[in-house]
Amino acid sequence: MLNQESLNRINKEIAKYPVARKQSAVMAALHIAQEEKGWLSNEVMDFVAELLEIRPIQVYEVATFYSMYELAPAGKHKICICTNVSCMLCGSDTVVAHLEKKLGVKLGQTTDDGRFTLKEVECLAVCGGAPMMQIDKQCYENLTPEKIDSILETLE
Amino acid sequence: MVSFEIDGKKVEAEEGSMVIHAADAAGIYIPRFCYHKKLSIAANCRMCLVEVEKAPKPLPACATPVVEGMKVFTQSAQAIDAQKGTMEFLLINHPLDCPICDQGGECELQDLAVGYGGDVSRFQENKRVVLNKDLGTLISTDMTRCIHCTRCVRFGQEIAGIMELGATGRGEHMEIGTYIEHSIDSELSGNVIDLCPVGALTSKPFRYSARTWELNDVAAVSPHDAVGSNLYLQVRRDRVMRALPRDNAAVNECWLSDRDRFSYEALNSEQRLVLPMIRVNGELQATDWKTALDFTVKGLSKVIDLCGSDSIGALAASNATLEEYYLLQKLVRGLGSSNIDHRLRQSDFSHDAVAPLFPSIGLPIADIEQQQGVLIIGSNVRKEQPIIGLRLRKAFLGAARIMAINAVDYEFSFDLAHKVITPPKQFVASLSRIAKKLANETGTTIPAAVGDWAGDVAVSDSEQDIAKVLAQTGNQTALLMGQLAVSHEYYDSIYQISQVIADMIGATVGTMLSANSAGAWLAGCVPHRGVLGSTENNPGLNAGQMQKQSLKAYILFGVEPELDCVDGANASNAIGSADFVVNLSSFMSSASDYADVQLPLAAFSETSGTYINGEGRVQSFGGAVSPKGEARPGWKILRVLGNMFELDGFDYTSSPEVFAELDLSNLEPSAKLREVAIMAPPKTETTSEIDLERICEVPLYASDPLVRRAHALQACADNPPPAARVNAAQAKELNFSSGTKINAHMGAAIVALELIIDDRIPNGCILIPSGYPETAALGGPGMTRVVRA
Ligand code: SF4
Ligand code: FES
Ligand code: FES
């Protein structure tokens, strides 16, 4: 199900916890699985459950709780827009509207060319730079439509 | 002990306990949804907020530990305000559909809304909608009503031990469900219906059939397993509408197995036998009681006159009442025969002479939790005795090391410390090796026969491990034999050697049987002992013999020979070829094909009586409803037959009068054999290489006539259609794959089944369940030849 490298990484995570607490590695294991596969299919989650010797539903609970996990195939770049209070007050609505228009997809959707997935997320703790978004592993602050355009141009 | 005050009242509580515990003990009510005394504390509903002196804001009583001198106010302005606020939030997303909700009338949210809810809602926005889930045939869902207390989730995780429900999503998107749609197959799943404080999870069979306030509760005892779970039958207009658990800390606590909860459906089955019937010119015809009873007496008398009283015999189900057993044996013995038995699924009766007073699990049910070690011998205990399974899980969560010798690697709700998974034929040898090793460890001498059984095979690692653990857990150990042991061809040797093991360490040994197996023994419903274990000078034939050698007349009491006997095929042949068969039964069944007279028998809900459970607990109950149609309680039918045969001592006017004839004080649950005498092992039979040993389990929803007619249980995922199961390696060797249509041959019988690959089965074995008409022709355990159909 997962390649040897991912398995090795997961085993390293498991080793960080007491033997009887294998399940503590669930979040790390899901991240690693997602990095390899791009998203978490039911089969991948069931596999992780088996690895950690927990029931599949325990993995689903975690995977559905955090917005960082993808439960459907996602685009090459994941654009996460914070719409929580600080960002909302500083204009996240404009950010959302601009991105939706520019990419031609709604929140939660992926562009036809598979390049971008647009996601609404809760506070990412960068309220000082509101409105903000996170693309893949990078945060972008004090967004304006122009700034967004130039950021997107740098991405393949 | 910590002393403090709730609402000005001085209370004391255990250190580390929560305010809600102390309040409950003191009879001070604090509203709650997520808190449940048997579940872990989640503190997620916030309904239990109370004011605590010096605390800046209200605290949840269920998660606030008691502190010396603290002052708690449950009714202060701050507390009430907080509780009302919580209620308003809870009602934001809760639909206002009480009039069409089955929970209405027994809904905790409805009740508390009366006390704490507002009269109008300030919420103007849209309520959220959650799609319903299909959880199978037992539980109906209306998930929009869910208030996310997570009681159902915690039940699966903590009590049932198999987590099937979970909370997925977050915040407003949180949902309770299985995520990937599948039914819940825990044998205890129905308990979430009781736990759910709202109408999100309700009973599917009961759905829309009655309002709770129309129902009367009648205390009853469940007729399915050795636990004898206490229940309430809920009755409306003389019909049992539902069964609910009746709290009894020593027996079932507040839980009920699905079998106990949903089998009531069969009470109203269309297959109920509602009229007496006699066979005239080869056809069964309905008639009145007088004619049927005359016919019975004439028929039996004729057989006795022609062939002697030894030529009649009686077979009784293992869940008849004590009173029924007593009168049945009194009748049969009065007629001059001792051919009476109830042990229909037992094959080996060699230890009858040294058997204990009555069979038991060997210790009080509640004590199972405190054991340090448990050895399960031939049992799918989780399914055979769900409540004992639950207690074992508690023992496991404590410190117990649970081990098993089994023919199937069953999935339990606890981990096994060590296990031996072996063909049934190897049970005795394996036990003997454990006994030998243990004798070594403890420096005890044991009977030489144990060594003979052990053979030359080296002690396996798991056998060694089991012996080592047993040596450590000592007298804090319970040995529990289950159905695969009891129906084993060498049950006697299994029992004897188990006892040898138990004696070495001071452990208890016991069998997990049926609802009133203990009562049957005590009432004398065995061929070799009379009432309360008295010696029978003229021992009659046991159930095994009566199934093999055909008698001239049989009395069947609540038995479907084809499905209830260990070798159903032979049993129905033997009984079917008798001259005269009296069938006392609650249902039309395959026995109706050859019965000469059928007497409609009241079901457990329709008669007063007594069950004695596997710990020797005597539990009497009254009837909840009147018998269906012309059916009559067994004790009345037997009393009248006694009178008609002009036997002495059949003048009872009530079942308590019958009961009073038995002195049942001090029933200690000890299943120890009176003496150990181990038989020499048989000569090793040469079996053909290509034959497989049949593992003959009786699945949980095939166990007795009642469950076999409970629709929802029959249709549930835990009751798959009978199939033949072998492990992958075995299948490969035979060149079969999953789904292959095969013919199983045993003796002259051939049965067509589908093959399923199941890696719980050891090599050399095939699991073909019994208790189903589809497999009945095969008979009992034995060697099977499997060929492609
Ligand atoms: S379904 Fe019922 S028991 Fe389960 S979380 Fe919802 S309200 Fe609680
Ligand atoms: S509110 Fe947007 S980052 Fe905190
Ligand atoms: S009962 Fe205390 S928070 Fe739910």
DSSP B116-174: H--SS----SPPP--------SSEEE-GGG-----HHHHIIIIIIS----EEES-GGG-
Task: Give the pLDDT band of residue B120 (cuts 50, 70, 90).
Answer: confident
Give yes or no for A85 touching B (CB within 8 A): no
Which ligand does the CA of B194 lie closest to? 1
Which atom, in ligand 3's list, is nearest to the CA of B34?
4
Task: Give the pLDDT band of residue B689 (cuts 50, 70, 90).
Answer: confident
Q: Which residues of chain B are within 8 Å of residue A55 when distances are taken between CB atoms?
A: 162-164, 166
Q: Which residues of chain A are within 8 Å of residue B178 when distances are taken between CB atoms?
A: 57
Task: Give the pLDDT band of residue B425 (cuts 50, 70, 90).
Answer: very high
For chain A, the farthest-separated pair of C-alpha atoms sits apart, in whole angstroms, at 52
Helices (H) and strands (E) in chain A, counts: 7, 4
Length of chain B: 789
Which atom, in ligand 3's list, is nearest to the CA of B48?
2
Task: Give the pLDDT band of residue B761 (cuts 50, 70, 90).
Answer: very high
Q: Which residues of chain A are within 8 Å of residue B170 when distances are taken between CB atoms?
A: 64-66
B701-756 tens-digit pLDDT = 999 999 999 999 999 989 999 999 999 999 999 999 999 999 999 988 999 999 99
Cα distance between residue B117 and residue B87, in whole Å: 6
Q: What mean pLDDT do residues B598-612 have?
A: 97
B243-284 tens-digit pLDDT = 999 999 999 999 999 999 999 999 999 999 999 999 999 999
> Ligand 3 centroid vs B147 CA: distance in angstroms?
12
pLDDT of residue B226: 96
Indicate the helix (H) or strand (E) that contains B619: strand B618-621
> Ligand 3 centroid vs B64 CA: distance in angstroms?
10
Q: What mean pLDDT do residues B398-415 have?
A: 96
* Model ipTM over 0.95: no
Give yes or no for A55 touching B (CB within 8 A): yes
Indicate the helix (H) or strand (E) that contains B728: helix B728-734
- B167 contacts A60? CB cut-off 8 A: no
A46-99 tens-digit pLDDT = 999 999 999 999 999 999 999 889 999 999 999 999 999 999 999 999 999 999
Which atom, in ligand 3's list, is nearest to the CA of B32?
1
- A58 contacts B179? CB cut-off 8 A: no
Contact at 8 Å (CB) between A78 and A117? yes
Contact at 8 Å (CB) between B71 and B5? yes
pLDDT of residue B731: 95
Contact at 8 Å (CB) between B459 and B474? no
B208-239 tens-digit pLDDT = 999 999 999 999 999 999 999 999 999 999 99
Instruction: Give the three-state DSSP class for B404.
Output: strand
- pLDDT of residue B373 exceeding 80, the answer is yes
pLDDT of residue B716: 92
> Ligand 2 centroid vs A60 CA: distance in angstroms?
26
Cα distance between residue B481 and residue B242, in whole Å: 32
pLDDT of residue B181: 86
Cα distance between residue B754 and residue B589, in whole Å: 26
Please calculate the CA angle B15-B21-B23 and round it to the nearest 5 degrees.
115
Which ligand does the CA of B33 lie closest to? 3
Under an 8 Å CB criterion, which residues of B touch A? 162-170, 178-180
Output the average pLDDT for chain B: 95
Query: Exposed, middle or buried by CB within 10 Å (0-12, 13-18, 19+), for B307?
Result: middle
- pLDDT of residue B685 exceeding 80, the answer is no
- pLDDT of residue A156 exceeding 80, the answer is no
Contact at 8 Å (CB) between B232 and B134? no
Determine if residue B447 is left, alpha or beta; phi over 0 gives left, psi from -120 to 50 gives alpha, anything else beta.
beta
pLDDT of residue B462: 97
B250's tokens? 């020593």
pLDDT of residue B387: 97
B630-663 tens-digit pLDDT = 999 999 999 999 999 999 999 999 999 999 999 8
Count other C-beta atoms under 10 Å from residue B29's C-beta: 11
pLDDT of residue B550: 85
CA-nearest residue, atom 4 of ligand 1: B152
Domains belonging to chain A, first-starting first, are 4-65 (1.10.10.1590), 77-153 (3.40.30.10)
**For residue B111, which of B130, B127, B133, B87 has the smallest C-alpha distance?**
B87
- Please compute, for residue A95, the number of CA atoms within 13 A of its CA located in the half-sphere on the CB side: 30
Cα distance between residue B343 and residue B513, in whole Å: 10
Q: Which residues of chain B are within 8 Å of residue A56 when distances are taken between CB atoms?
A: 179-180
Contact at 8 Å (CB) between B556 and B575? yes
Q: Which residues of chain B are within 8 Å of residue A60 when distances are taken between CB atoms?
A: 166, 168, 179-180
- A65 contacts B178? CB cut-off 8 A: no
Q: How many CB pairs under 8 A join A and B?
A: 31
The shortest CB-CB distance from B178 to any of A57, A65, A66 is to: A57
- pLDDT of residue A18 exceeding 90, the answer is yes
Please give the distance of CA B401 from its chain centroid, rounded to a whole number. Answer: 23
Mutation pick from B157, B163, B179, B186 vs chain A, by most beta carbons of A within 10 Å, is B179
Q: Which residues of chain B are within 8 Å of residue A50 when distances are taken between CB atoms?
A: none
> What dihedral angle (degrees, nearest 10) is formed by the CA atoms of B302, B307, B309, B315?
-90
Which atom, in ligand 2's list, is nearest to the CA of A123?
4
pLDDT of residue A68: 87
- pLDDT of residue B684 exceeding 90, the answer is no
Q: What is the DSSP letter of B244?
A: E
Which atom, in ligand 3's list, is nearest to the CA of B44?
3
Q: Within 6 Å (CB) of ligand 3, which residues are found?
A: B 32-35, 43-48, 60, 62
Long-range contacts of B673-677 (CB under 8 A, 24+ apart): B673/B351, B673/B354, B673/B355, B673/B356, B673/B495, B673/B496, B673/B499, B674/B354, B674/B355, B674/B356, B675/B354, B676/B354, B676/B447, B676/B496, B676/B499, B676/B500, B676/B503, B677/B354, B677/B496
- B179 contacts A56? CB cut-off 8 A: yes
Shortest Cα–Cα distance, A88 to chain B (Å): 18
One-letter amino acid at B355 equals A
pLDDT of residue B549: 83
- Which residue do the tokens 């309700």 mark? B202
Q: What mean pLDDT do residues B184-203 have?
A: 95
Q: Within 6 Å (CB) of ligand 2, which residues are found?
A: A 82, 84-87, 123-127, 130, 132
pLDDT of residue B121: 87
pLDDT of residue B31: 96
Task: Give the pLDDT band of residue B404 (cuts 50, 70, 90).
Answer: very high
> Ligand 3 centroid vs B46 CA: distance in angstroms?
5
Length of chain A: 156
Shortest Cα–Cα distance, A73 to chain B (Å): 18
B293's tokens? 């009873």
pLDDT of residue A137: 87
Give yes or no for A107 touching B (CB within 8 A): no
- pLDDT of residue B589 exceeding 90, the answer is yes
Which ligand does the CA of B21 lie closest to? 3
End-to-end CA distance of chain B: 71
Mutation pick from B170, B181, B396, B415 vs chain A, by most beta carbons of A within 10 Å, is B170
- pLDDT of residue B688 exceeding 80, the answer is no
pLDDT of residue B182: 86
Instruction: Give the three-state DSSP class for B657.
Output: helix
Contact at 8 Å (CB) between B428 and B681? yes
Task: Give the pLDDT band of residue B455 (cuts 50, 70, 90).
Answer: confident
B42-70 tens-digit pLDDT = 999 999 999 999 999 999 999 999 999 99
B347's tokens? 């094959």
Q: What mean pLDDT do residues A116-127 have?
A: 93
- Chain A residue at shortest CA distance from B172: A65
> Ligand 3 centroid vs B149 CA: distance in angstroms?
8
> Ligand 2 centroid vs A69 CA: distance in angstroms?
19
Give yes or no for A65 touching B (CB within 8 A): yes
- pLDDT of residue B450 exceeding 90, the answer is yes
- pLDDT of residue A141 exceeding 90, the answer is yes
- A61 contacts B164? CB cut-off 8 A: no
> What dihedral angle (degrees, nearest 10) is formed by the CA atoms of B77, B83, B84, B89?
150
> Ligand 2 centroid vs A86 CA: distance in angstroms?
5
Give yes or no for A19 touching B (CB within 8 A): no
Cis peptide, bond prior to residue A131, ω within 30 of zero: yes
Which atom, in ligand 2's list, is nearest to the CA of A86?
1
Contact at 8 Å (CB) between B406 and B430? no
pLDDT of residue B346: 96
- Chain B residue at shortest CA distance from A64: B169
Helices (H) and strands (E) in chain B, counts: 23, 32
- A64 contacts B168? CB cut-off 8 A: yes
Cα distance between residue B601 and residue B609, in whole Å: 13
Contact at 8 Å (CB) between B89 and B98? no
